[in-house]
Amino acid sequence: MASPPQISSTPQSIFRPNAKHREAISKIFRIICAIGLGIGLVVLGLLLVDVFQDGFARLWQPGFFTGNASRFAQKAGLRTALLGSVWLLILLLLISVPIGVGAAVYLEEYAPKNRLSQFIEINIANLAGVPSIVYGLLGLGIFNELFGLGPTLLSGALTLSLLILPLIIVASREAIRGVPQSMREASYGLGATKWQTVSNHVLPYAIPGIVTGVIISVSRAVGETAPLIVVGAVGYLTSNPGLLRRFSALPIQIFDWISRPQAAFTNTAAAGIIVLLALLFVMNGTAIYIRNRFSTFR
Amino acid sequence: MSSFIGFPRRLAVASVVFTALALGACNNSQTGTGGEAQTGGSPSPAASGEQVSGPVAIDGSSTVGPISQAVAEEFQGANPDAQVSVATSGTGGGMKKFCAGQIDIANASRPIKDEEIQACEKAGIQFVELPVALDGIAVVVNKENNFAKCLTVDELKKVWGPAATGKVTNWNQVRSDFPSQPMKLYGPGTDSGTFEYFTEAVVGEAKSSRTDYTPSEDDNVLVQGVQGDPGSLGYFGVGYYEENQDKLNLVQVRNPDTDTCTAPVPLDNVVKGTYAPLSRPLFIYVSKKSLDQKPAVKSFTDFYVNNAKTVVGDVGYVPLPDEAYTSLENKVSNTKTGSTFKDVEPGTDITKLLTQ
């Protein structure tokens, strides 16, 4: 037991003041953490500077957003790829949000807590870690072949939905689990039914978490290349994408440009990267806005 | 709660507006397609002279992809309603889809193989084989390398043959008067038609290669690899050398028939066939069924053989001689099926074959 210093008459050999030493360790730890942050920021900064140097000027040349891909780097535009990505984005939201949030609500609010639901839970968590190429092959087998959709935009969107469903379910469940039990009990106490409790209290309270999860998952899907290539996205398209037509997407268009021999395509690809980054930035910004908006709303 | 299920109404409204805007944008640009896609050059009109619509699905070699894309770009100016798509999953991958009837046209950087012909026959798919351009495979070394000026095919075989794996690692093993310098190798991945053609021409057997080299499906990565490594040696399509002439040294290859050193630059050496055996034809294979049943595919194929000459230079390849394209036009109009190139040895004079 340590005794108060003024009473203690222990010789110095037993009580060694090492506050300096401990503080030094504390400082070193702080520096290590700062270096970690610094490396992350510097690498990101270098990437951004590099991409913007190569592509920013190209971005504003006429026809970049409205034109088709072209063999001339200066004329190449990303209209079909951008439209493909926007289509995918909308379809993804329409398909995966109702299914994902519905599944999460059922698992959290309705499902009995037994072995089966535990088994399902573990599997969903595992599915969230499966490499995206596997989903591509799954989509190729199910949507392209079995359902006969072929290499179309719809089958690409369905495949990406499969990819992000586990992520959305996991995030939504976390958010729903974060709703205090007392809130549900108060609602029941006033005579509300389960449906009224879930729709009027649980979901609105959980919306910031759900929306954050949805948008981060969808952002990931929009940047995906591998599953789309397997399903049959193409690097060059003369017509606008449609639900049952062949399609392209931004990451695939960028890859096609990067692998061209002509040096000018580097700039075109960099401009494409900026557009993809901007799209992701806007989506993440929306997520943050909605989260803040609804955090104060309740 | 004011709204029905408690979700804030504003969010719902916002999402509906966003969706409507996005869809609206699609429609707007759909109407503006024709005008914007007009590009330079003066392509001759499609043989049919009428506009066609409908999908034309193309897949295959990433080497030939840019040519098909360039032709599609010009074709679209004349046929705004046609939906041409060009994917690049490699010659082998494209052939698989082609013989499964999933696509109309396969791009190939090597002739079709016997197994592939059998697969096509099984599925009842007949094809028209059309060589559309020529390509030279450039052998390159680092800018600092001033001793490897001209290599023989045997020397290349010594370097790239399967027996070299782990053994041939120094330049002085290639030729005794070369300095002692460690050798680093860069080449295309094993799915590439360039890899198959090079191994067949140099080693004597397609796909037979040493395994301890740095492969990449992206030729720009190979350019960077050779550029950054003083002892490096690599090979890829001459288009990638032409765009990076200031960063690489081109190696001449001794033509075994004429015993002279030649390079794929100037490109005339590729056309005349003096850059042998590393000059090769690039192909498209068109499904006969699609030609017969889909007017868009027929019209696109006609357009392809009529206009390939004007666009292949833009994407870094070498056009065939004029008379070759004329014979291709006949081949398309007669829908002559089957492969005449599958057994042709690398280094054979392509122009002669075509004009026969």
A11-70 pLDDT per residue, tens: 556 777 888 889 999 999 999 999 999 999 999 999 999 999 999 999 988 889 988 888
Of the listed ranges A160-174, A278-292, B96-110, B235-249, the least confidently predicted one is A278-292
CB contact under 8 A, A79 and B66: no
CB contact under 8 A, A71 and B29: no
Same domain, A87 and A138: yes
CB of B126 closer than 8 Å to CB of B289:
yes
pTM of the model as a whole = 0.78
How many A-B residue pairs are in contact by the CB < 8 A criterion?
Answer: 135
- Give the pLDDT confidence score for residue B323 in this predicted structure: 83
Q: Cα–Cα distance between B240 and B22 in angstroms, integer?
A: 39
Same domain, A136 and A94: yes
A68 Cβ under 8 Å from any chain B Cβ: yes
CA B215 to chain CA mean position, Å? 17
A223 Cβ under 8 Å from any chain B Cβ: no
User: Mutate which of A239, A252, A262 to test chain B, going by most B C-beta atoms within 10 A?
Assistant: A239
Same domain, A54 and A91: no
Q: Cα–Cα distance between B356 and B351 in angstroms, integer?
A: 9
Provide the residue-wise pLDDT of chain B in tens; the chain has 356 residues.
334 344 444 444 444 444 444 443 433 333 333 333 333 344 444 444 578 888 999 999 888 999 999 999 999 888 888 899 999 888 888 999 999 998 999 999 888 999 999 999 999 999 999 999 999 999 999 999 999 999 999 999 999 999 999 999 999 999 999 999 999 999 998 878 889 889 999 998 888 999 999 998 888 999 999 999 999 999 999 989 988 999 999 999 998 888 899 999 888 888 887 898 898 889 999 999 999 999 999 999 999 999 999 999 888 888 888 888 888 888 888 888 888 888 777 767 666 776 66
Of the listed ranges A45-59, A161-175, A248-262, B1-15, the least confidently predicted one is B1-15
Distance from the Cα of A83 to chain B's closest Cα (Å) equals 7
CATH superfamily of B136-271: Periplasmic binding protein-like II (3.40.190.10)
The average pLDDT across A181-200 equals 93
CB contact under 8 A, A240 and B26: yes
Residues in A 234-293 with any Cβ partner in B closer than 8 A: 234-240, 245-246, 248, 256, 258-263, 290
Q: Which residue's entry shows tokens 């944008």? A: B25
Q: What 3-state class would DSSP assign to B130? A: strand
User: Mutate which of A93, A236, A246 to test chain B, going by most B C-beta atoms within 10 A?
Assistant: A236
Residue A233 lies in a domain: yes
| pLDDT of residue A91 exceeding 90 | yes
Same domain, A37 and A154: no
Q: Domain tally for chain A?
A: 2
Same domain, A122 and A228: yes
- Give the pLDDT confidence score for residue A85 in this predicted structure: 93
Q: Which of B25, B57, B239 sits opposite A261 (nearest CB)?
A: B239
User: Mutate which of A71, A89, A201, A282 to test chain B, going by most B C-beta atoms within 10 A?
Assistant: A71
Q: Provide the domain limits for residue A53.
A: 17-58
- Give the pLDDT confidence score for residue B342 in this predicted structure: 81
Q: Please tell me which residue of chain B has the smallest CA distance to A86.
A: B22
Residues in A 148-187 with any Cβ partner in B closer than 8 A: 150-151
Residue A101 lies in a domain: yes
Neighboring chain A residues of B6 at a CB cutoff of 8 Å: 199-201, 203-204
Check which CATH number belongs to the domain holding A114 and give it: 1.10.3720.10
Neighboring chain A residues of B35 at a CB cutoff of 8 Å: none
Q: Cα–Cα distance between A59 and A78 in angstroms, integer?
A: 10
Residue type, B20: A
Q: Does domain B20-135+281-344 match CATH 3.40.190.10?
A: yes
Query: Residue length, chain B?
Result: 356
